[in-house]
Amino acid sequence: MYGGYVLKTHRLNSLKALYVFLVAMLMTAIIGPVVSAATLSSPSLLLGDPRPSTSSSYTFSGSGFTTATTIRCIDVILNTQADGGGSAPTGITTTSSTLSSSSLITAGSWSVDNGSNGRLRITIAGGETPAASGNVVWGNITNGSTVATTYFALFTSYTDASCTGGNEVDQATAAFIYKDGELIQLTIDPTLTFTCSGVAASQSVNGATTNVTSTASGVNYQNNVTSSTNGISAHDLNVSTNATNGYTVYIRHTGQLTNGSDTIANHTGTNAAPTSFPAAGTEAWGYTTEDSTLDPTADRFTNPGNLWAGFTTSNEIVINNTGATSGTETTRVGHQVGVSTTTPAGTYQTTVIYTVASTY
């Protein structure tokens, strides 16, 4: 009896083992093999612009992709929880996303599925085998509105275009965060330098030739001006400024050239309509400029040149620059005086005033 009991027990255990095996085979046939998705290495999500509520690109990258399996769907869930059990970041908009580029798959062959906000999905009906490492770049995404909160990007690739659970191939989770930009500010103080340089005799000034040497502080014609020889002098005006809209230089005198009660008449040409200076023997006192950019008629002094305007006691433009200077700019301004045979003897004086105004 004892030996028979052992034999029966052995047979019973064998039958149980066979039963378990058959059940396992039957379950495999019914539900299929258990799928275990591979975990990617070095996953990351890079935002092109991390500022909240800003349009940005989202670049998911990683390595260790399964290259022996054809995939038809790539899905990235943007969520408040690492297991995807939360919700999309507040304020995010992904429903207008685009597939910008990819080094993982052939971007031009895939289609974007914007059917769900907070999800980035691309599909391809025919399938493609991914590279071992690379990235997928989505564009035209509006960031969430909350800063300093950690969010999660859950990446999954599938063998079917419907992204069906159970057909996962590769998976990974990466954290990301929104961050305000930092304001950088600095102030550049306005700069302006303005000097006057003397011009030697025998130098050209807008088609005329100087015959008197000037200094930075003025001009002394001495007795060189006669009824047969006009006196011609000049100044070089030097300007440097960081004003965005440039600068303007004005000229005027404090009054006619005067000796007691005697005066020398101003030239009849005007700043708006300069004219040729009269020949020696006629009383006249005037100025010219080599600047060909004056408003409103740019080249009115320089075309054809050697044109002059009578001095006045009001500011009149002799240099006009509408842009910032590159270093120091120098423009030559000339003065000319003529007398007649009846001009009373004496020493005639006035003061010429140059004024600069920069426009920032």
221-276 pLDDT per residue, tens: 999 999 999 999 999 999 999 999 999 999 999 999 999 999 999 999 999 999 99
List the one residue out of 116, 119, 106 whose CA is nearest residue 58.
Answer: 119
Whether 128 and 106 have beta carbons less than 8 Å apart is answered as: yes
Give this prediction's pTM.
0.65
Q: Residue 249 and residue 285: Cα distance in Å, rounded? A: 20
The DSSP output letter for 108 is: G
List the one residue out of 307, 308, 266 whose CA is nearest residue 284.
Answer: 266
List the one residue out of 271, 252, 206, 238 whose CA is nearest residue 354.
Answer: 252
**pLDDT the model gives residue 101:** 98
283-299 pLDDT per residue, tens: 999 999 999 999 889 99
Domains of the chain and CATH, by start = 39-177 (2.60.40), 192-358 (2.60.40)
List the one residue out of 256, 249, 235 whose CA is nearest residue 337.
Answer: 256
Question: Is residue 22 over pLDDT 50?
Answer: no
Find tokens 């101003």 and name the residue.
266
Strand pairing class (38-39; 204-205):
unpaired
Q: Residue 310 and residue 267: Cα distance in Å, rounded? A: 4
In one-letter notation, the amino acid at residue 344 is: P
178-200 pLDDT per residue, tens: 999 999 999 999 999 999 999 99
